[in-house]
Copies of this chain bind each other. A is one copy, B any other.
Amino acid sequence: MIASGGLEALSLREVARRLGISHQAPYKHFSSRDHLLAEVIRRCLKDFADALRSSAFDEAGQPRTAEDAMRTLGFVYLDYAARHPLQYRLMFGTPWPAVAHDIGLAEDARAAFDVLRARLNAIRKRDDHTLDLDAMFVWSSIHGIASVVESEAMRHLNFSEDKAREAVLHAVRMIDRIVFEDRHA
């Protein structure tokens, strides 16, 4: 339902209708529309974190090197955002419903962020206090790319399909340079 028509198209009554139950039945399971929404977001976050974690292994199930795992993480992140635009928007694109804080949604988000932090830590020569700062930079940059792609901003800016793809690769390369530059020094 969210897929066809955006977030506002999610209606508890329509959900109930499609399930063939009364319009109040959902309230026996979720105390409000926002609680349902928050639970949906939680599932997205868990699924997303799983996807990120899986990037530590290659197709054959063999563990990747730390460097490879880090690079793959970025691609898996962007791939996930591209493949599941609605889930991605739910998690990071729209403000969480107010009840999200009450039911501890932030912890699930932290789990996803910790994957990135751990990967980043694994490729550092020495650990100083900038790990969190670097991780935040990488995340915000990758997130920026993902949300630009997801918002179709590039189509609005008259980027061709090819140029848009090139722009994503270009941006990833820039971040790659930052992340790995002190290793080449």
Contacts and interface: CB of A to CB of B under 8 A. Distances in A.
Contacts of A87: none
Interface residues of A, number: 42
Interface string A132-153: 1110110111111101100101
B171 A136 contact: yes
Contacts of A89: 95
Interface stretch (A53-61, A62-70, A162-170): A162-170
Contacts of A139: 144, 148
B171 A137 contact: yes
A24 interface: no
A170 B137 CA distance: 7
16 contacts: A6-B95, A92-B151, A93-B94, A95-B151, A106-B156, A110-B156, A110-B158, A132-B159, A133-B166, A134-B170, A136-B170, A140-B144, A141-B144, A142-B144, A143-B144, A147-B147
Complex A-B, nearest 7 residue pairs according to Cβ-Cβ distance, in ascending order: A144-B144, A106-B156, A140-B144, A133-B170, A137-B171, A136-B167, A140-B148
